[in-house]
Amino acid sequence: MFDRIYEEPFPSEEGKEVLGIDLVLLDSDTMGLVSQFITNKGLLTVERIIMLEHCSADLKKIVTQLDKKEKLYFTSLIELATETLYFLSR
C-alpha cells in the first residue's frame, strides 16, 4: 500500500489548506512516519507514534471536505496510518 501511494501523483495544488491543515505537509508527515516504521522493521518511538496519531486525526477531519480525486488519495493515507497504528498497538 505504501509503494502504491508513494507512486501516485499528489492530487492537490501546493499550498492548499483544508480546515487550516496544509495538505502537502500532512501527506509528507504521514508518509515519512510510515516510511520510518517500515525502515525500522515495525518500530517507532513514542513521540513518532503520537505524531502519526495526530496525522491520522487530521486526515479524518479533512477528508470529507475534499473533491473525489483528493478524497481517494487521502482515504488511502488514512488506511495506511490506521494499519500502521494498529500494528504498533499490538
Please report, for the chain, the start and end positions of each structural domain, with discontinuous segments joined by +. Answer: 20-89
**By C-alpha distance, which of 41, 29, 49, 38 is closest to 3?**
38
pLDDT in tens, 61-82: 999 999 999 999 999 999 999 9
Identify the pLDDT of residue 57.
98
What pTM was computed for the model?
0.94
CA atoms of 77 and 85, how far apart (whole Å):
12
pLDDT digit string, tens, across residues 29-59: 999 999 999 999 999 999 999 999 999 999 9
